[in-house]
Amino acid sequence: MDSVSNNEIENSASYGKNPSKIKFQYEDDDEQVVQDETVTESSNLEVDEDISMCEPTTASAVDDSMVGGDKTSADYYFDSYSHFGIHEEMLKDVVRTKTYQNVIYKNSFLFKDKVVLDVGAGTGILSLFCAKVGAKHVYAIECSSMADMAQEIVKLNGFSDVITVIKGKVEEIDLPVPQVDIIISEWMGYFLLYENMLDTVLYARDKWLVKDGLVLPDKASLCLTAIEDADYKEDKIEFWNSVYGFDMSCIRKQAMMEPIVDTVDQNQIVTNCQLLKTMDISKMTSGDASFTAPFKLIAERDDYIHALVAYFDVSFTKCHKLLGFSTGPKSRSTHWKQTVLYLEDVITVCQGEAVVGSMTVAPNKKNPRDVDIMLKYSVNGKHCRVSRTQYYRMR
């Protein structure tokens, strides 16, 4: 893995920089919801900048032998999206789908008479939104067999003249047009980067997007916090130490390396929330998704820390009014939930004490749809002093 560039480091969060709380124009039955959202530099909101430099480090991918061999979700990735159940879950995620609908419906001037590319179209819902507000033409690319259903859905809704469904991989197909005005995609995976669909969006952007064209969403941020979670850790991790009287601790080692995707109760949060990384999808390169970011989590009460929790925010900053959503534990739940990384240590913290460290994130070298995570953390507190490096793999 190449070393982290200065530009990547400058875009990492500084110690103590928290996601700024802003009010999104997310609407569900005309309700305004306050979300925790990272404001990027292109936002029209004023935010105090406090960016510090960190020492470049080489991303260290998790060794395959540590996480149980070569089997990967990559082999089954597209097939998994052939099943309607996963699309039902995404469509019923009101935060997700309603935000995209509001972005398109409330900013129809951006889409009217424009050529739109929908990357990873699924059922074609985003393409239908675009067609309804007057897009000149929409090209919906979907690699799974759901493309056949999307074609039928387009026909059923009377948009066959406006939406063209193309079945295949973005990297392998040819568009009937040389350029598009807008690329829209719901590419985010668990932990933001799992499944590595971002690379596909960047490929499409570089190949087909006109100069000054729009990528939607255009900003994504990864954030981190720490939680008390004794009961669940005991149930999911320590369980393997003695199973009906037998030692299965070898599985515990494996379980510790696999982050858990689950919904975190905001009352479990022990520290502040820290911005790790902001990505500008309209400008970034593929390599920018591999990074090392420092963090400093300050305890807000006396408690124990059993895990760190990662979540992401996305923003549509080119809209008339800033739109977006957060997948954080303090926001309305989404199908992405949060990503929990359990710690080997139970950290005893007093209010005001800090857990400091860094997180290195990179696609797995053998299976790039998986994500390797290296976590370094240390505590030098009144009741706890510890320094450790742990490895995880999202798979």
What kind and span of H or E run contains 311?
strand 303-316
Return the sign of the alpha-carbon dihedral for residues 281, 258, 369, 87. Answer: negative
Whether 172 is a known active-site residue: answer: no
3-state secondary structure of 181: strand
- Tokens 């975190």 identify what position? 264
Please tell me which residue in 8, 37, 142, 186 is annotated as part of the active site: 186
| HEC letters along 350-370 | CCCCEEEEEEEEEECCCCCCC
Helices 146-156 and 125-132, interaxial angle, to 10°?
Answer: 30
Q: Find, among 197, 212, 28, the residue nearest to 120 by Cα.
A: 197
Tokens of 229: 């979670």
| Residues 274 and 18: beta-carbon distance below 8 Å | yes
Which helix (H) or strand (E) is 250 found in, with range? Answer: helix 249-257
Reduce the DSSP state of residue 127 to 3 states and report it.
Answer: helix
The catalytic position among 8, 37, 195, 353 is 195
| Structural contact between residues 220 and 283, judged by C-beta atoms closer than 8 angstroms | no
Other CB atoms within 10 Å distance of the CB of residue 57: 17
Calculate the alpha carbon distances from 334 to 84, 127, 191 in Å: 18, 21, 13
Helix ranges (DSSP H) in 106-229? 108-111, 125-132, 146-156, 198-208
Over its C-alpha atoms, the chain yields an Rg (Å, rounded) of 21
8 in active site: no
Give the residue numbers marked as catalytic.
186, 195
